Structure 1
């Protein structure tokens, strides 16, 4: 069962946008500043290109990750621990994400993958697109956080909002093959998991 919680009103803050899949941990997202891209109009100007003007950060993440549009999308969109960094080549904004949830997107693979740390909603592409997978996220204390059969998005990923400060394992099953990797939503954890290889 996917964990869902009510949306939280979000503001905007300036930040540096990561283009493409981030292969290493570049450190924490920049703190809010008063330089550029600090209002809804700035975000809407970027999001208008993909028909998402006027929505909050959580909705943007859900819609862009599940988008059937071919990658790359006409913007940059990087999911960090607590903000979504957006850019269009001329301006950059940061849309805060829910304080009590952590977004993680996983691209299970059989033969081909790529390195990733912070998930790029605009450019990341996994091997298995449009495939039925069963995903289980289990905390170290035995709590089952996610137990769901779903279909990977056009980008080969499937994403989940899960509680913060969680440590456990993530398991994916696809067509008789399974894979398991350690999983965490603690400070400094990745939002992009591309290391889960499926094996019979």
Structure 2
């Protein structure tokens, strides 16, 4: 299903690019709108995973001009009416976690340009453990300016995320299938 969806998106993007290949006399036909969007933000030479990390870790105040909706299989970039879909790595899933103390927001697909968590630039300890007991993350980390912290975990896994800070902690379940959330905002530290 995941590859069929990618194939359809690739076909649609290809059709859009082909339809837009002609340019008026004197126009620059060497750049497509998608490459213009990536160039404008200095992202053209980066992989999709690197783009996700750069946008999520941006120190800019949210909302930002460039939105990046993180889906299990794609990163959907948009600025105004301009949109671009980039394939995510097949074997990795991006989980963006916003631990909180007093307030949070509902979220399913993380948006690097608009999601804002409570704990900004905060030191936390994160442990991510799969359902079969394998610890895939166990380290100190600092939340980003948007109050989130992101982790690449194996696609098709599930388990728990535990975050602790100053004697408080919280644990929530996660899953990384093609219909699962990339945005975890339910992890309350108590």
TM-score normalised per structure 2: 0.84
Give me the CA root mean square deviation: 2.1
Distance in 2 between the 1:190 and 1:42 partners?
29
- CA deviation digits over 1:8-49, x for unaligned, max 9? xxxxxxxxxxxxxxxxxxxx8894123436898433322344
Larger radius of gyration: 2
**Higher mean displacement: 153-162 or 45-54:** 45-54
Shift of 1:132: 0.4
* Residue in 1 that maps onto 2:56: 65
* Residue in 2 that maps onto 1:155: 146
Count residues with an aligned counterpart: 172
* Residue in 2 that maps onto 1:36: 16
- The correspondence for 1:109, drawn from 100, 110, 118, is 100
* Residue in 1 that maps onto 2:127: 136
* Residue in 1 that maps onto 2:185: 194
Higher RCO (C-alpha 8 Å, min separation 6): 1
Distance in 1 between the 2:186 and 2:112 partners?
18
* Residue in 1 that maps onto 2:44: 53
TM-score normalised per structure 1: 0.80
Structure ranking higher in helix proportion: 2
Structure 2: give runs of 5+ residues left out of the alignment. Answer: 22-30
* Residue in 2 that maps onto 1:78: 69
Residue 45 to residue 78, structure 1, CA distance change in 2 (3 Å): same
Structure 1: give runs of 5+ residues left out of the alignment. Answer: 1-27
3-state DSSP of counterpart to 1:36: helix
